[in-house]
Amino acid sequence: MSNEPGGIVGEFLSLKASTDADVLAMQCGDFYEFFADDAELVADELDLKVSQKSSHGSTYPMAGVPLSELTPYLKALVERGFRVAVAEQYETDDGHARRIERVVSPGTVVDPDGSAARYLAAVEEVDGAYGVAFAEVTTGRFRAAAVDSADDVRAELHRFAPVEILPGPGVREDDALLAAFRDDTDAHLTLHETEAFAPGRARHRLREQFGRETLDAVGLVADAAVAAAGAVLHYVDETGVGVLASMTRLGTLDPGGRVALDATTQRNLELTETMGGDRDGTLLDTLDHTETAAGSRLLREWVTRPRRDRAEIERRHDAVAAFASAALARDRLLDELDGAADLERLAARATSGSADPRDLAAVRDALGRLPRLASAIEGTELADSPVADVLARPDQSAARGLHDELDEALAADPPGTVTEGGILARGYDEELDELVAEYEEAERWLDTLADREKRQHGLSHVTVDRNTTDGYYIQVGRSVADGVPEHYREIKTLKNSKRFVTDELEDRERTVLRLEEARGDLEYELFRELRERVVEHAELLQDVGRTLAELDALASLAEHAATNDWVRPDLSDGGELVIEAGRHPVVERTTDFVPNDLRLDRDRGFLVVTGPNMSGKSTYMRQCALIVLLAQVGSFVPADAARVPLVDGVFTRVGALDELAQGRSTFMVEMQELSNILHSATEESLVILDEVGRGTATYDGISIAWAATEYLHNEVRAKTLFATHYHELTALAEHLPRVENVHVAAEERDGGVTFLRRVRDGPTDRSYGVHVADLAGVPGPVVDRAGDVLDRLRDEKAIEARGSAGGSDRGDGVTKQTVFDLGSGQFRGSASADGGGAKPLDPATESVLEELKGTDVNEVPPVELMATVQEWRERLEE
């Protein structure tokens, strides 16, 4: 005997088995029901009540929601990371059946709550090459590209912050990358069918969607990229959200040259998310004064995707400059943008068939803003700036045409539903007007019936009303009910009254019902035609939406620049980076900020930044990086003046200590990040190193930091700021021509430390660690003892090889330090080729020194160098 459940539960379970969705909602009459495990799950997640359903001798948990209330439950489930299949009921010859019409997943919710972008991503790897694709079903945006490495994949994921990722079959093998997806994003990972990633099929699908030539035109040719893009399209199609038609344009990731900004750097610089994971206190949060959701989304895109093409950057600078100086026009323009609908999203809603009359009215109002925006800038400085070009970009006459059409068709303030009537304007459709007139006439007759009956039949206490069971009726008070005329037919007796109908009333009722239905049908029909007109203009809406967003983003940058005394940066040709009185864009908002200068050029390309803990080293380095980035975003910058080169990338690595606090860093991670920088940075990059080598023993750490500095200086030649607590590294300035020391000054006063926050040339002269411990309230005896120990260590130089020649003078009276002598490749001061009067060496040391001598640090790759240093160390310890 089979234990398979039959009936409705059986149908549910077999539908569930046919989908890979996590949960199934199945329509049963007026409800969507969840059975068995799914019932338990939704009950847990959404606080629904579970009842028991008997079916063929077994009972199953069951939970349900009314048809009209599914949407919020769906969204709530999807928010929690579930993919929900929705099965609809349909009529068949012998009753009804059900089939899955759509699957709702985090990346395919068409009308999400909130205005943030919701990207659906796919990632595929084919023969070591990667491809990524990002689609946003709420706006119809679609972008895809080949990227060089898994790190680039992660950088893009950090930028787009997708809510759902489809890893392709090539990526599913890569546990490390999958783990990174989980760590770097909050996205739901969906294993979409493998065949969708097959490059052949994917290419075909893309051509069908975007046209044959487009793939070549945008350079989307590599298999991995094609596979990812094709899979996204397939997924959007499969899930049945009905927005495929709004994806009309295939975009790439970086037209005009990319600025490398890996995920680590985006996080370290807190562009869109703080190290602690908040939005408050990020660069984006600080800059964002936009009026519209689309403007805010665009600004985010700009901030995470600085440009390298001078023309585009200068266009934005020009626009920001114009906006910044034309305060009145800017305010007017922002007023006109205030409350503008999200056109890109409305276009997608229209395409998916979910746009309601109010949405179309929002389209009308947004289109109607174009001429008002134009008049807001007329005769102002903005008229001669790129702002005018942005405004002129969409097809004006098409926009006017669609606006006028909607304006003529729609009621001034239509309802949010298609069933209530009142969607369309009088005079739009003659037939509808007639129906409405007749209907209103019938209503008038009904409204005045009670008065007429009172008058004609001398009755008091008469009302005329309608409900679902009785239809229209005449209600007469009990006391006078006996006096009603003959032709009244009683239908109900209530406590204080009786209800009657008449033939005439029934006749009118039929008319009203007929008119209601005819009017509703016609109005819906006309509304759908109108919505189709909007769908036909989806691209226009995307264009206008884009224009409004861009004006908003530019005005927002200008607003911030004007109110915070930011200046327009010059783009330098010679590669020099000069900042006068620069500030940190976020910290300056909450602190009495001390501005600082920066100068990097051909002769001075690498700064070793020293200074006590908490003196401001990180802040200084980050502000410099942010100023460079802001300039390339097209923004003004927080400084009195700035000359900024167009960098090809910003690379950062932040100290083990900061990261350890976040429970994230290990020495391995630190080295991986360093390795990535040494491999990826170029002469045109900006590198920020905030402590290197802290996660290991002192000698290891210094060696690695030292070797990395040499490599960056000699080979990579990137502009670099390197904060370190290894005082030893300040000696590098004497050996490497482009290395200079700067320090963040602090003063010792009355046994305490005063931070001056001033960056000055030269190395700092001592460590203030013990004083910071004191400031932090470490008990007095500990602080005193630490001071003693420090003095002793200084005398004995326990952690430094004792020597007498070369090195730097620390200026605090302590004897000279032993450092690598780059010229000879030896430890200066030890008993090596240059003598120095030290004691004889044991054979192990000798052999290590020999090898060291034979090692060309410029030739050996850094990672290998590290391993070698480690091995030397071990031999020396033995």
Which residues are documented as binding site for ATP? 611-618
* Phi, psi for residue 308 in degrees, rounded to 5: -115, -15
| 8 touches ligand ADP (CB under 6 A) | no
Alpha-carbon torsion angle 245, 246, 249, 251, nearest 10: -120
- CA dist 382 and 380 (Å) reads 5
Least Cβ distance, residue 260 to ligand ADP (angstroms): 24
> Which of 757, 766, 771, 828 is in the footprint of ligand ADP by CB under 6 A?
757
**Residue 571 · residue 313 · CB < 8 Å:** yes
Output 359 or 774, the one with its CB closest to ligand ADP: 774
Distance of closest approach, residue 65 Cβ to ligand ADP, in angstroms: 50
In this structure, are residues 134 and 121 in contact, taking their beta carbons and an 8 Å threshold?
A: yes
Minimum CB distance to ligand ADP smaller for 569 or for 611: 611
Cα–Cα separations (whole angstroms), residue 424 to 164, 288, 386, 441: 39, 38, 39, 19
CB proximity list for 306: less than 8 A, separation 6 or greater: 259, 261, 629, 632, 633
Residue type, 772: V
Closest distance of CB 616 from ligand ADP, Å: 3
Q: Cβ 771 to ligand ADP, closest distance in Å?
A: 13
Helix/strand/coil for 607:
strand
| Nearest CA among 442, 444, 438, 433 for reference residue 522 | 433
**Cβ neighbours of residue 343 under 8 Å, at least 6 residues apart?**
294, 363, 366, 541, 542, 544, 545, 548
CB 757 to ligand ADP: min, Å: 4
> Which of these ranges, 1-9, 458-466, 608-616, 833-841, lies near ligand ADP under the rule CB under 6 A?
608-616
**Residue 730 touches ligand ADP, criterion: CB under 6 A:** no
Residue type, 327: A
If one asks whether residue 617 binds ligand ADP (CB under 6 A), the answer comes out as yes
Which of the ranges 90-98, 335-343, 607-615, 642-650 carries the binding residues for ligand ADP, by CB under 6 A? 607-615
Query: Smaller CB distance to ligand ADP: residue 618 or 808?
Result: 618
For the bound state, the minimum distance from the C-beta of residue 611 to ligand ADP, rounded and expressed in Å, comes to 6
| Neighbouring C-beta atoms of residue 770, cutoff 10 Å | 20
Q: What angle do CA 184, 187, 189 make, to 5 degrees?
A: 110
Query: Judged by CB, which is closer to ligand ADP: 70, or 641?
Result: 641
Nearer to ligand ADP, 221 or 776 (CB): 776
For 221-267, the DSSP string reads: -SHHHHHHHHHHHHHHHHTT-S-GGG----B-S-TT-B-EE-HHHHH
Instruction: State the minimum distance, in angstroms, from the CB of residue 625 to ligand ADP.
Output: 13
Q: Which is nearer to ligand ADP, 611 or 645 (CB)?
A: 611
- Degrees to nearest 5, angle at CA 113 with 111 and 118: 70
Regarding 316 and contact with ligand ADP (CB under 6 A), the answer is: no
Nearer to ligand ADP, 385 or 610 (CB): 610
Looking at residue 354, its amino acid is: S
Counting residues that bind ligand ADP (by CB under 6 A) gives 14
Residue with the CB atom nearest ligand ADP in the bound state? 616
Which member of 190, 502, 615, 832 binds ligand ADP (CB under 6 A)? 615
Nearer to ligand ADP, 619 or 826 (CB): 619
Total residue length of the chain: 878
- Encode burial over 549-572: b for 16+ CB neighbours within 10 A, e otherwise: bbbbbbbbbbbbbbeeebbbbebb
Which CB contacts under 8 angstroms, 24+ apart, belong to 60-63? 60/5, 60/9, 60/35, 60/36, 61/35, 61/36, 62/33, 62/34, 62/35, 63/33, 63/34, 63/39
Per rule CB under 6 A, is residue 660 in the interface with ligand ADP? no
What is the spatial distance between Cα 40 and Cα 105, in angstroms, rounded to a whole number? 20
Distance in Å, CB of 608 to ligand ADP, minimum: 13
126, 227 Cβ separation under 8 angstroms? yes
Q: How far is the CB of 612 from ligand ADP (least distance, A)?
A: 7
Dmax of the chain from CA atoms?
A: 135
Pairwise CA distance, residues 824 & 850, whole Å: 11
Measured from the CB atom, is 615 or 730 closer to ligand ADP?
Answer: 615
Per rule CB under 6 A, is residue 614 in the interface with ligand ADP? yes
Q: Mapping DSSP to helix (H, G, I), strand (E, B) and coil, where does residue 219 land?
A: coil
Is 102 or 725 the residue whose CB approaches ligand ADP more closely? Answer: 725
616 binds ligand ADP (CB under 6 A): yes
Please identify, using beta-carbon distances, which residue of 618 and 818 lies nearer to ligand ADP.
618
- What's the min distance (Å) between Cβ of 724 and ligand ADP? 11
Nearer to ligand ADP, 52 or 754 (CB): 754
Instruction: Give the residue ranges of the annotated binding site.
Output: 611-618
Interacting residues with ligand ADP between 123 and 182 (CB under 6 A) = none
Q: Which stretch binds ligand ADP (CB under 6 A): 164-172, 467-475, 615-623, 641-649?
A: 615-623
CB of 624 to ligand ADP, least distance (A): 12
The residues in 352-381 that bind ligand ADP, with binding defined as CB under 6 A, are none
Min dist CB 768 to ligand ADP, Å, is 10
| Chain centroid to CA 358 | 28
Report d(CA 877, CA 76) in Å as an integer. 61
Which of positions 560-599 make contact with ligand ADP (CB under 6 A)?
Answer: 587, 591, 593-594, 596
Residue 613 is a binding residue for ligand ADP (CB under 6 A): yes
Which range of residues in 271-279, 350-358, 613-621, 640-648 is near ligand ADP by CB under 6 A? 613-621
Options 619, 632, 685, 830; binder of ligand ADP; rule CB under 6 A: 619
449 Cβ contact partners less than 8 Å away, ≥ 6 residues apart: 464, 474, 505
> What residues line the site for ligand ADP (CB under 6 A)?
587, 591, 593-594, 596, 611, 613-619, 757
